Amino acid sequence: MRNIFRHLEGDKAIWAVTALLALFSFLPVYSASSNLVYVVGNGTTMGHLFKHALLLLLGFGIIYGIHRIPTHFFKGLSLIALPVTILLLIYTLAQGNTIEGANASRWIQLPLVGFTFQTSNLAAVVLMIYVARYLTKIREQEIKFTQSLLPLWLPVFIVIMLILPANFSTAAILFAMVLVLCFLGGYPMKYLMGIIGAGVVFLTLFVLLAKAAPGLFPNRVDTWISRVENFWDGGDTEGDYQIEKAKIAIASGGLLGNGAGKSVMKNFLPQSSSDFIYAIIIEEYGMVGGLSLMFFYMLLLFRIVVVANANPTIFGKLLVVGVGLPIVFQALINMAVAVELFPVTGQTLPLISSGGTSIWMTCLAIGIVLSASRKPLVESDGERIDEENPLEILSGQL
């Protein structure tokens, strides 16, 4: 055992929380799979379990591989990865998958392995690193808005625009996270306000355009509007079907829950193994289970803050916050949807929900946080210089 653990560097608490969440995830995923198998008629329960195990195994491979990479390598990596992800996003969108006329181009089919891959998740991580890098680079300068327009906001807007038509919530969360990161990175507040304003104006235009010319391009504007309307509309309408089922699940869970696998509502909640998994967890494991899960995410948040605190470099701090906070934020959004604190979104519960891309990209982010939490071999004031960084040249150019 010691041998294995010796290879695991970085924050042990994060390792532990990640492993616990991953282990726990088998329970709800296995339970929810009965709905897919017996009601939807898709696969076998063992099959779903095995697939989940495989995804997690690959995920931990990713964590291990990423956390060995020296933190400052990510600066350069993000520069290479960003154009690639943008191309992938364009490709994804261009496929034009639709669900009942609404744009659902979120996935690309991975060749050979047969998994689908949600490119927006990758793009989010890459973009956060890129922004962190940029903020680090300009930390000493008195920055002008026009100066930051091209290197910062252009890539941000391109990525978000490419995600928006198919997945509003991911785009919105990413935008919010970029803003938070900029806020942390000392980007001037007045400019941030301007950007928010621009974002709102842009979104309004997008919605209006989609409404005015419904056939022009596939989008999910109608879905967003109805979801938001349902949320604000107090009564139980037809559209509240999902949320009502989630509330029934939570209410019938009680303090200790009905027991593993005993959920009833999993049969009626669409996406019971991903989007609404928190409601199912509470139904089966009760308030105790739900709060424990919340506790672990809060512990993760705490450790991320600790790691950010401990990391000596500005880039390290911003990187940890930039990729770490979205995990916790997404978890909270998922829970908030289940308790009707937030309109219905397609956000998964990181590490718990089934779904390859979500697991892998969470693992990627955690790997980066762990990398930043490693004890640096030699410390100098500010910048690590003893390690070769082949991408430093590239990083310096922009």
Partner 1 sequence: MAVTPSHILRRLYLVAGGLFLFAGAVVFKLVNLQAAQGEKYRDLAMQRTEKLFTIAPNRGNLYSDDGSLLATSVSKYTIRFDAVTVKEETFRATVQPLAKALAAQFGKPADYYEKLLKKARTNKNRYALIARDLDYSDFLAVREFPLFELGPYKGGLIIEQRTVREHPLGKIAERSVGYERYDDNGYVTRVGLEGAFGDYLRGKEGKRLKQKIAKGQWKPIGLDNIIEPKDGYDVVSTIDINIQDIAHHALLRQLEHYKAEHGTVIVMETATGAIKAISNLGRTEEGTYYERLNYAIGESHEPGSTFKLMSLVAALEDGVVDTSTVIDTERGYWRLYDRVVRDSKHGGYGEITVSKAFEVSSNTAFAKIIHNGYKEKPQNFVNRLMEMRLHEPLGMPIKGEGVPVIRNPGDKGWSGISLAWMSHGYEVSMTPLQTLAFYNAIANGGELLRPRLIREVREWDRTVEKFDKEVLHPQICSPETVGKVQELLRKVVSEKHGTGHKLDTPFLSLAGKTGTAQKNYVGKDPEKLAYISTFAGYFPAEEPLYSCIVVVHEPDKSVGYYGADVSGPVFQSVAQKILANRPIESHLPEFTLEKPDLDEAYEGYYSLAQEKMQTLPDLRGMSGMDAVSLLENLGLEVEVRGNGKVKRQSVSKGTDISQVKRVILELS
Binding site for partner 1 (CB under 8 A): 38-39, 135, 138-143, 180, 183-188, 244, 247-248, 250-255, 264-265, 267-268, 282, 287, 290-291, 294, 297-298, 301-302, 305, 308-309, 312, 314, 317-318, 321, 325, 328-329, 332, 335-336, 339-341
Alpha carbon distance 191, 205 (integer Å): 21
Q: Which lies closer to partner 1 via its Cβ, residue 92 or residue 395?
A: 395
Of 209 and 287, CB closest to partner 1 = 287
Q: Where are the alpha helices (DSSP H) in 213-276?
A: 221-232, 241-253
Q: Is 389 exposed, middle or buried (0-12, 13-18, 19+ CB in 10 A)?
A: middle
Task: Residue 106: name the closest of 94, 125, 93 by CA.
Answer: 93
Residue number with CB closer to partner 1 (199 or 253): 253
Q: What is the smallest separation between the CB atom of 249 and partner 1, expressed in angstroms?
A: 8
Packing angle between helix 277-310 and helix 314-338, nearest 10 degrees? 160
Q: How far is the CB of 289 from partner 1 (least distance, A)?
A: 11
Place of tokens 């672990």: 296
Q: Which is nearer to partner 1, 60 or 276 (CB)?
A: 276
Indicate the residue among 297 and 360 with the shorter CB distance to partner 1: 297
Minimum Å distance from CB 141 to partner 1?
6
- Distance in Å, CB of 111 to partner 1, minimum: 30
Nearest-angstrom CA–CA distance, 369 and 15? 10
Q: How far is the CB of 245 from partner 1 (least distance, A)?
A: 8
- The torsion angle over the Cα atoms of residues 341, 157, 189 and 170, rounded to 10 degrees, is 20
Residues 147, 149, 155, 156, Cα dihedral to 10° = 120
Q: Nearest Cα to 136, choosing from 93, 72, 189?
A: 72
CA-CA distance, 14 to 9, in Å (whole number)?
Answer: 11
**Hey, what are 46's tokens?**
């063992």
What's 238's DSSP letter? G
Which residue, 162 or 351, is less far from partner 1 as judged by CB? 351
Pairing of strands 98-99, 102-103: antiparallel
Please state the closest distance from residue 397 (CB atom) to partner 1, in A. Answer: 21
Q: Helix, strand, or coil here: 103?
A: strand
If the CB atoms of residues 161 and 305 are measured against partner 1, the closer one turns out to be 305
Enter the DSSP assignment of 258: S
What residues are paired with 103 via a beta bridge?
A: 98
Q: Select 158 or 184, whichever has its Cβ closest to partner 1.
A: 184
Contact 307, 373 (CB under 8 A): yes
Q: How many helices (H) and strands (E) does the chain have?
A: 15, 4
Nearer to partner 1, 161 or 288 (CB): 288
User: Least distance from C-beta 196 to partner 1, angstroms?
Assistant: 16
Closest CB 250 distance from partner 1, rounded Å: 5
Shortest distance, position 263 Cβ to partner 1, whole Å: 11
